[in-house]
Chains A and B, each alone.
Chain A
Amino acid sequence: MLQATNIKKRFGDNEVLKGISLTVRTGDVVSIVGPSGSGKTTLLRCMNFLEMADEGELNLDDKLYDVRKVRKNEIREYRKKTGFVFQNYNLFANKTALGNVTAGLTIVRKVPAKQAEEIAADALTRVGLQDKMSFYPSQLSGGQQQRVSIARAIAADPSVVFFDEPTSALDPELTKEVLSVMKKLADEGTTMVVVTHEMQFARNVSDRVIFMEDGTVLEEAAAEEFFRNPQSERSVRFLESFSVGAEPG
């Protein structure tokens, strides 16, 4: 279980997160939606210490981390229990698909190479890339790269996986293949926090939806509830912008 309490972050005068709290239960899929610039990426990054929040607490699997006092080795322990999927994949360019997945196992967790390769092959199979293991990132399509990065994030069986707009760099066809992998992981019980603009995914795959605007959580509800019956004027307008636009249903 992941619990964030009162996360605050400012960049200079710009107060980007104004005290965010959220809870992600084990096995839950939580989608974070909201207009661009509302602080979704920053929140995700603060929840993995890629950005240091100014204030707040994180509780992962009953271990408490005060962001103001957390030490470097505590951050590494925390990160070992989480996975992160970036919008632009950030695959290790000098490593094959397999090498991307084994790196965290052999280098960080000192898993013997042979065993690490078995685990990595298994993770790559779960994302449907069993026949691309020896390919370098530059030899893979965007969708395949993102699936490798998902395999990298899940290989060590993390307590929670963060996704920051995993499909927004992809065209619709490739988006579909990545979303279907994510749905499969969700069905297998992976705990996920997903920042997304894919409303279909948020509605059909996630258990709960968090609607963020201007550094605050405006609304939090069960997914179906949020889409059927949005509570605030802002969330209504936000959802309208999707149904009116090119977005199908």
Chain B
Amino acid sequence: MNERILQELSDSFVKLLIPGIRVTIPLTAISFSLGLILALTVALIEIARIPVLNQAVRCYVWIIRTTPMIVQLFVVYYGLPNVGIKLDAFPSAILVFTLSVGAYCSETIRAAILSVSSGQMEAAYCVGMNYLQAMWHIVLPQAFRTAFPPLSNSLIGLVKDTSLAYSVAIVEILATAQRIAARTYDYFWLYCEAGLIYMIICTILTFAQRKIEKKLERTG
């Protein structure tokens, strides 16, 4: 590794960090937040076995789990215009990532809710709570503690999956690295550097996860 490459890498580091902060992080944050709301809704529908809706959400989960995300991205971004629905790249990516988080995390959340002992629900009923109050104040906070580690893994997985947005012409970290390398031909170093940016983001998230887990352990 000579000085020229070192210089180039330190110049490009900031150039890669910028799409990381401006694209990857918002893409992840928005998709994950929306996805969690969707996942919770799906989990509650499945647990309450609401007729029709239950079948519908199971069909949705099945489709998402059995098709590659890159195909879903292509269908939404390149395919939907054929049937008259035209979404920009960013909303397309948000839609696909949200649906993915919703499907995978609904399983996590469902299992976590079911792991809370039924006595908790009964005790909540006994003090006069209704179903939603018991869920919201008693069962979900406990389920959250169980679900937190696997949900953190999903979040970290999503950070990395956002690199698929490259395929629908979103200029995120990977696309930026490619553009620079196309000029300098230092593909090896630039792609390694792109990987490094992901490593940094995911490592920070892992530390945050550990901290929060410790805190969750302390209470109760």
CB within 8 Å of B: which residues of A?
Answer: 48, 50, 72, 76, 79-80, 82-84, 86, 88, 90-96, 103-104, 107-109, 136-139, 149, 152-153, 156
Nearest opposing residue in chain A for B127, CB measure: A104
Closest chain-A Cβ to B33's Cβ sits at a distance in Å of 22
Closest chain-B Cβ to A129's Cβ sits at a distance in Å of 16
Docked-complex contact B129 and A108, CB < 8 angstroms: yes
20 A/B residue pairs, CB under 8 Å, sorted by A = A48-B126, A50-B125, A50-B126, A76-B128, A79-B128, A82-B126, A86-B123, A90-B119, A92-B123, A92-B124, A93-B220, A103-B137, A104-B127, A104-B129, A107-B129, A107-B133, A108-B127, A136-B220, A139-B220, A152-B123
Majority SS of interface residues in chain A?
mixed
Question: Is B184 part of the binding interface, using a Cβ–Cβ cutoff of 8 Å?
Answer: no
Which residues of chain B have C-beta atoms less than 8 A from A96's C-beta?
220
Docked-complex contact B119 and A94, CB < 8 angstroms: no
Which residue of A90, A103, A104, A107 is within 8 Å of B122 (Cβ)?
Answer: A90
In the complex, A94 Cα to B138 Cα: how many Å? Answer: 7
Chain B, interface size category, equals 20 to 34
In the complex, A94 Cα to B142 Cα: how many Å? Answer: 6
Which residue of A48, A82, A84, A136 is within 8 Å of B219 (Cβ)?
Answer: A136
- What are the interface flags for B133-150 relative to A under an 8 Å C-beta threshold, 1 for contact and 0 otherwise? 100011001100100000
Nearest opposing residue in chain B for A81, CB measure: B128
Q: What's the A-B contact tally at a CB cutoff of 8 Å?
A: 69
Docked-complex contact B123 and A94, CB < 8 angstroms: no
- What are the interface flags for B112-131 relative to A under an 8 Å C-beta threshold, 1 for contact and 0 otherwise? 00000101101111111110
Docked-complex contact B126 and A79, CB < 8 angstroms: yes
Which residue of A92, A94, A109, A138 is within 8 Å of B128 (Cβ)?
Answer: A109
Nearest opposing residue in chain B for A135, CB measure: B220
In the complex, A119 Cα to B117 Cα: how many Å? Answer: 28
Closest chain-A Cβ to B138's Cβ sits at a distance in Å of 5
In the complex, A247 Cα to B141 Cα: how many Å? Answer: 42
In the complex, A76 Cα to B134 Cα: how many Å? Answer: 12
Docked-complex contact B119 and A86, CB < 8 angstroms: yes
Docked-complex contact B123 and A90, CB < 8 angstroms: yes
Given contacts A86-B119, A136-B219, whether A79 and B125 have CB atoms under 8 Å apart is yes
Which residues of chain A have C-beta atoms less than 8 A from B219's C-beta?
94, 136
Closest chain-B Cβ to A91's Cβ sits at a distance in Å of 7
Nearest opposing residue in chain B for A78, CB measure: B128
